[in-house]
Chains A and B, each alone.
Chain A
């Protein structure tokens, strides 16, 4: 049986109806029992979890109020937890033991949450399937023959399996939203600068984002409340005050201007996805939103610019590790054979491409700023297709075979490049009973609006509460 949602659990622990230690033991049992089959975790941390849970119980006994009291969580194994290896899903970092917690982990534990382990991911967060040669393939609980999505694959699977109510992921091209969509969860990529990335292994410094994954927008909002805000350890983090997201959730949608794109996002989508997204937009309109047709310019150029930034920054970070491997082990087995070329490719891209991508970024922000001045948020599919089978390379869309990297990420990566906040929430199922995601994109630093729209939608529908048959109870 899945653990309760994070808000209920926190209330129960705060009111001493259950102890944090009992909740942690239950989560640890589940994690241990399910991990061989699903590979959600790279490392499970029972001693750390029990120690933290006992601390939480003591703090509560001393009269503290903790917003996430005793709520177990997992963190993508890209973020540091003191004394536990941060592998980034790679053999290269298997021995890397950090001396301090990542800021996001510090803030969650300070709020009473209990870390139960480090979650599996696509190696180096550089991929979208969740396949991992070193630590095992993360399977989709809705169909174990299919990918969970990535790169935050374990972050999605641990929540779907009911091991913990929320997890932390990272998103550089869609790595929170994509697995959230494929696994039927709510996943939030906040605005660039809203959540500190300190203590995380980077992939692309100017496009990496950190955010929560959970069943509901209300839970994602509660986690964001704790992790958002300025951090001196991350110079990119914003000094803007953090609003009260729980308060923001309560407002009805009357008057909300909902942008519906007329280009790019609905050009080629699976019919099941197109129908579910259209129905979700209708539901948001029924709840009070006003549909506004919009066109986002520069989309194809943005895909290329995202590639230029991603590959250049990834190679800049990984070049020293590639050199170490070249020196110690020229045959290169610490990075997987399908990852090493990705890390090397940026070494051969012209510097002018990188600079021009940053120049285009300015034009894109200005042009999209015009669009967002007419709307409160934008609604799109998160992905034009549902979860694919392991090994599948292309998807047929509009009678054309499209490479999966284009199919899966073309709708999410533009908002890593622009920095806009975006979330994915479940909005339907395909004829094969696989989850479909709706992406909501907001104005910079206006996470409250997209969380509100998602929350109001989830009050009126039940897609977020559906579970795979094997794990339903």
Chain B
């Protein structure tokens, strides 16, 4: 599983919350919370792996041009 140890996260993600959303996202009836225990654990681990990313200051940076590994030409910002 692609996850880190979630111990350090204080507010773990609840499987019940995910199960409540599952009908909308996956179609059909909402599933049981137990079906989302692994996803909840995974998301909790991801939160930990993403903590530095969540703190980063992006200023006014626009998204990268996804389909180019080299810098895109600069588009002048509107005054």
Chain B 26-42, CB-CB to A under 8 Å as 1, else 0, gives 11100100001011001
Q: Which chain A positions have C-beta within 8 A of B38?
A: 337-338, 340-341
Assuming the A-B contacts A301-B52, A301-B53, A345-B46, are A405 and B4 also in contact, with contact meaning beta carbons closer than 8 angstroms in the complex? yes
Give the residue among B26, B67, B69 with the most A Cβ atoms within 10 A: B69
Q: Are B67 and A236 interface neighbours, CB within 8 A?
A: yes
Task: For A356, give its contact among B45, B58, B67, B68 (CB under 8 Å).
Answer: B58
Q: Which chain A positions have C-beta within 8 A of B64?
A: 358-359, 361-362, 365
Assess whether B11 is interfacial by the CB under 8 Å rule.
Answer: no
State A363–B45 Cα separation when bound (angstroms). 25
Assess whether B66 is interfacial by the CB under 8 Å rule.
Answer: yes
Chain A, residue nearest B58 (CB): A359
| Closest-CB distance, A445 to chain B (whole angstroms) | 7
Assess whether B56 is interfacial by the CB under 8 Å rule.
Answer: yes
Among the stretches A225-233, A270-278, A303-311, A458-466, the one at the interface with B is A303-311
Within 8 A of A (CB), among B3-41: 3-5, 13, 18, 21, 25-28, 31, 36, 38-39
A to B CB contacts below 8 Å, 30 in the list: A127-B2, A193-B67, A206-B66, A235-B67, A301-B56, A302-B53, A303-B52, A304-B50, A304-B51, A305-B50, A308-B50, A308-B53, A326-B28, A338-B38, A342-B1, A345-B46, A347-B21, A348-B25, A349-B46, A353-B50, A353-B53, A356-B53, A362-B61, A362-B64, A362-B71, A363-B61, A365-B64, A403-B4, A420-B69, A444-B70
The 5 closest A-B pairs by CB, nearest first: A304-B53, A419-B69, A304-B50, A358-B63, A361-B64
Q: Which chain A positions have C-beta within 8 A of B50?
A: 303-305, 307-308, 353
Q: Which chain B positions have C-beta within 8 A of A302?
A: 53
Q: Are B69 and A365 interface neighbours, CB within 8 A?
A: yes
| 6 additional contacts (CB under 8 A) given A303-B50, A348-B43 | A206-B67, A304-B49, A323-B26, A341-B1, A344-B36, A360-B56
Assess whether A366 is interfacial by the CB under 8 Å rule.
Answer: yes
Q: Which chain B positions have C-beta within 8 A of A307?
A: 46, 49-50, 53
* Size range of the chain B interface in the assembly: 35 or more
Assess whether A470 is interfacial by the CB under 8 Å rule.
Answer: no
Q: Are A303 and B39 interface neighbours, CB within 8 A?
A: no
Chain A 316-343, CB-CB to B under 8 Å as 1, else 0, gives 0001001100110010000001101110
| Closest-CB distance, A466 to chain B (whole angstroms) | 31
Assuming the A-B contacts A307-B49, A330-B28, are A365 and B42 also in contact, with contact meaning beta carbons closer than 8 angstroms in the complex? no
Q: Are B62 and A323 interface neighbours, CB within 8 A?
A: no
Assess whether A95 is interfacial by the CB under 8 Å rule.
Answer: no
Assess whether B77 is interfacial by the CB under 8 Å rule.
Answer: no
Q: Which residues of A contact B (CB under 8 A)?
A: 126-127, 191-193, 206, 235-236, 298, 300-305, 307-308, 311, 319, 322-323, 326-327, 330, 337-338, 340-342, 344-345, 347-349, 353, 355-363, 365-366, 369, 403, 405-406, 418-420, 444-445
Chain B, residue nearest A420 (CB): B69
| Closest-CB distance, B50 to chain A (whole angstroms) | 4
Q: Are A369 and B71 interface neighbours, CB within 8 A?
A: yes
Chain A, residue nearest B17 (CB): A348
Q: Are A311 and B26 interface neighbours, CB within 8 A?
A: no
